[in-house]
Amino acid sequence: MTWLESQLTATTGVEFLNPAQQDEYAIFKTPGLTTSSAGDLINSDLQTNYAGYTSTTPTSVITIDGETWTSAVAYSQAQPPNTKERVEIIATVHGGKGYIIELQAPDAMFENARMQYFNTIIDSFQFFPATS
């Protein structure tokens, strides 16, 4: 299945959307230069984009492309009623710039989406050497 790609307008980034499951997506954001920590980036992203979500898990550390990232999971009720949604927000600061990955799917389908799509998406992420 081919996911739809679209550029984000409010920030520098890209969204990949599963056309067969509209609430299943991956978003990559690069908010730019920052003095914030990865945890601060996650908290800000949760407050700005997932205000109705409740973070129920402590943050954890994962490795993507050899880089240490911080990850947090939050849940919300979405439409239709009683559909529990899960979002995982993963962030790092690399070269003084913030990077955020948001992964969302219905909670009951999240692990399947991780195995089918999200792991492949995350594994393809890499930092390229700076060019002058």
Is-contact 76 44, C-beta < 8 A? no
- pLDDT at position 10: 63
**pLDDT for residue 132 is more than 60:** no
Distances from the Cα of 129 to the Cαs of 83, 85, 93, 94, in angstroms? 42, 36, 15, 11
pLDDT tens string 33-72: 999 999 999 999 999 999 888 887 678 999 998 899 999 9
Q: Full-prediction pTM beyond 0.85?
A: yes
Domains in the chain, start-ordered, CATH in brackets? 4-115 (3.40.1000.10)
